[in-house]
Chains A and B, each alone.
Chain A
Amino acid sequence: MSNVAVVGAGQTHHARRRTDVSQVGLAREAAVRALQDAELTMDDIDSVIVATGPVLFAAVNQPEKWLVDALGARLKPVVRVTSGGGTGLAGALAAVNQIKGGFAERVLVVAYDKLSEGALQYSISTLYDPFWGREFAVGIMGFSAAYWKARMDLLGHTEEAAALVSVKNHRNALLNPYAHVRKEVTVEDVLASRPLCWPIKLLDVPPISDGACAVILAGEDAAKRSADPAWIRGMAYYSEGENAADRSMIQSEPLRIAAEKVYREAGISNPRRQVDVVEVQEPYTCFELSYYEGLGLCPPGGAAQLIESGATQIDGDIPVNPSGGCMGANPIGATALIRLAEIAQQVRGRAGAYQIPDAKVGLMQAGGGWANLRGVAVVSSTKN
């Protein structure tokens, strides 16, 4: 089976509001940077996959139809894959399949959201069944906070442990030139911050950002012409019926299934030892704790201890979100692809000030919806 690699990645300088570019202008910036990073032009691209958040975020239905011109992709295959917050990874997975399936040799994946333009919580609340429950919807924050409270009681994911995630990711974001939020916070700041949906407080929540990311994936022959490809060693994206009978809300089943599949493909049996760097998409701090367990970085119920131990700090043995994660920037539709771009740049040695020394194997996680869409990928500087 042919291999696929990331050969270029780029992102915008994320911000609360960009009034100098339109949605498509923003997406173009990331695409241009990815092409420069890969030393390619649009002529080298066979196919484009666009990934954005739900269309009601942005008042533009099927925005790839608008984006095609800004990308200079006229008359190429262009399609949009969407899957809530994890959409960027769902898009990358579609690209991997296009390449392995012989449909394209190089695919440009572009993901973005310009959240300043919409009414975020209102738009997200339309995720709820119009007949049943929408009247109680609080975006996805009320839901996420509710199950954090449950995990707090059952797994010890305390407010203090989540605050440590906020402190770590905010500090890491100081090193990231593309980050939107660059300010140091303390555990005390987080705990004292205004409750939005208790136990979620203001500093447990990432910013709302305008931003875009683009990644270029290439098949084995094309990737070999790249100086430093980041090989995709495994990638999967699984779903779960959001109100299925006895759905486990404490440990994510789709995350477990996706991680198992990807680890098997990548030959990973002990991620804590075998992975050098991790990027997770944490829409709220509590989710990062949950992912530690779902990804097998620690046993169930061990997340608070893992963050307290310092292991996931940038200089720890299993650094998580050295880029600052979503705390640094959160253009929702782009965040999953940003996580993939970040681990690719890490194993390519291009992560700049937050480069993990000698990183060879990177792990990323992303997801969306009712926490029922979950994906995982592993990239490596070596093919196998």
Chain B
Amino acid sequence: MSQLFTSPDVPQVLTTTLSIPYTLTPGGAAGQFLAGLAERRILGSRCEPCARTVVPAQDVCGRCGEQTPDLVELPHGGTVTSWTAHQGRVVAKIRLDGADADLLHVVAAEPGAVEVGDRVAADWAAEPTGWITDLAAFTPGRARSGPAEATPVARAETSVEMVPYRLDLTYHHAYGPYYGRMFDELGSFSRLMGSRCSSCHRVLLPARAICDVCFARTDQFDEVSDTGVLQAFSVIHMEFVGQTRKPPYVYAEIVLDGSSTRLIHTVAGDFDLADAASTLSIGMKVKAVWKPESERVGTLEDIAYFEPVIP
């Protein structure tokens, strides 16, 4: 029995996590700024027409939109111009000596111990990683390293070209009334239920409140057969990050008998996947092969695969 069915009063969600790897390129000024941190140098960029030195270094002046090829090495000390504390962490705008704009960074201090006007100094991470956090934070007090004043420098020779990154995003997708009922029926009775449009009377799977074509409401649930027609298929050989099954396998789009929509699944059975292209054909009848009841969890994967129906 599915949880949904046994406790319909509890809102149900499907929790999913996207964990996507990236390799990011800072490019230009940012690449050089980040490389500079490994040498404990803080690089800014100078826009001569605007007479502004900004830090961290930028490729383009945010004011005039022109390129700012001139780099400047800045002192390691500065003054807090604004701060906030959020979840126990102080984040501040810091005006480094010799700069004309602030730098956003962490101040390693208790929230109550920071004031606008406080002097702070760069504190460095022990091991550089290519991120801005190589400049670990600013700490209250006077700088004990770095140049005494803003100093023009030649374009740095080193640049951080690529840094690994990962986005981890978690979601709690609500089932809602239509998917709730649909997954109840799937989980409790291994039944596929679509919803019927009140206007065109076609059955839509997955179940939904509104028919896409008619913009009319659906007015009843209808059971859909676990047999259908193979509308389209391809044979997957490719591997990729995030893939949920091992190639080769068949990607199939099936129109189940009693429904008018496409179901995405896989076709397998008593044939060699290497021969899928010639064994399977468009328009062929297929039938669901359900997993043993003990292995069903109330998702589409309760159907292990669809198999060709040999007439």
Most buried by B among A20, A25, A123, A148: A25
Q: How far is the CA of A206 from the CA of B58 in the complex (A)?
A: 34
> How many residues on chain B are close to A (CB under 8 Å)?
70
Asked if A353 CB lies within 8 Å of chain B CBs, one says: no
Min Cβ gap B184→A in Å is: 13
* Chain B positions 32-86 with a Cβ under 8 Å from a chain A Cβ: 58-66
**Neighbouring A residues of B252 by C-beta, 8 Å:** 146
Tell me, in angstroms, the Cα distance from A114 to B123 when the chains sit together: 34
Contact call A119/B240, Cβ cutoff below 8 A: yes
The listed residue (A117, A122, A143, A197) touching B237 by CB distance below 8 A is A197
Q: Name the segment of B105-113, B127-135, B159-167, B286-294 touching the other chain.
A: B159-167
- Taking A19-B162, A119-B241, A130-B14 as contacts, is the C-beta distance between A73 and B213 under 8 angstroms? no
Q: A22, B234: Cβ atoms under 8 Å?
A: no
Q: A143 to B242, alpha carbons, bound, how many Å? A: 17
Interface residues of A in 235-268 (CB under 8 A from B): 241, 243-247, 249
Cβ contacts under 8 Å, A198 to chain B: 234-235, 237, 276-277
Q: Tell whether B197 is near chain A: CB-to-CB under 8 Å.
A: yes
Query: In the complex, A132 Cα to B60 Cα: how many Å?
Result: 45
Q: How far does the alpha carbon of A122 sit from the alpha carbon of B173 in the complex, in Å?
A: 19
On whether the beta carbons of B265 and A136 are closer than 8 Å, the reply is yes
Q: Within 8 Å CB of B281, what residues of A? A: 153
Q: Which residues of B contact A123 (CB under 8 A)?
A: 20
Q: Is B125 part of the binding interface, using a Cβ–Cβ cutoff of 8 Å?
A: no
Taken together as a complex, chains A and B put the C-alpha atoms of A129 and B176 apart, in Å, by: 14
Task: Looking at the assembled complex, report how far the CB atom of B169 sits from the nearest CB atom of chain A, in whole angstroms.
Answer: 9
Tell yes or no: B233 within 8 A of A by CB: yes
**Could you tell me the distance in whole angstroms from the C-beta of B109 to the nearest C-beta in chain A?**
30
Within 8 A of A (CB), among B190-212: 197, 200, 202, 204, 206, 211-212
Confirm or deny: B153 has a beta carbon within 8 angstroms of a beta carbon on chain A: no
- Shortest C-beta distance, B1 to chain A (Å), equals 19
Size of the A side of the interface (Cβ < 8 Å), in residues, is 67
- A18-69 residues at the B interface, CB under 8 angstroms: 18-23, 25-26, 28, 42, 56, 58-59, 69
The reply to whether B20 and A59 form a contact with Cβ atoms under 8 Å apart is: yes
Using Cβ atoms and an 8 Å threshold, which residues of chain B touch A244? Answer: 211-213, 261
Which A301-348 residues sit within 8 Å CB-CB of chain B? none
Q: Which residue of B lies closest to A201 (CB)?
A: B237
* Interface check B251, CB cutoff 8 A: yes
Kindly report which residue of chain B lies nearest to residue A25, judged by CB atoms. Answer: B27
Instruction: Point out the residues of chain B lying under 8 angstroms from A178, CB to CB.
Output: none
Does chain A have a CB within 8 A of B5? no
User: Closest chain A residue to B210 by CB distance?
Assistant: A241
User: Which 9 interchain pairs have the tightest Cβ spacing?
Assistant: A72-B65, A241-B212, A145-B234, A122-B242, A22-B27, A142-B251, A146-B232, A121-B240, A244-B212
Q: Show 25 residue pairs from A and B whose CB-CB distance is below 8 angstroms, ordered by the A residue.
A: A19-B27, A20-B25, A21-B25, A22-B25, A25-B27, A26-B27, A28-B59, A56-B20, A56-B167, A69-B60, A69-B62, A114-B25, A126-B18, A131-B175, A132-B264, A133-B264, A135-B244, A137-B264, A139-B240, A150-B231, A198-B235, A245-B260, A246-B202, A247-B262, A249-B232
Identify 15 new A-B residue pairs, CB closer than 8 A, beyond the known A74-B62, A117-B25: A56-B20, A119-B242, A121-B241, A121-B242, A130-B14, A130-B171, A133-B264, A138-B240, A143-B253, A146-B234, A150-B282, A197-B234, A198-B237, A198-B276, A246-B260
Listed in ascending order, the chain A residues whose CB lies under 8 Å from chain B are 18-23, 25-26, 28, 42, 56, 58-59, 69-74, 114, 116-123, 125-126, 128-133, 135-139, 141-150, 153-154, 194-200, 241, 243-247, 249
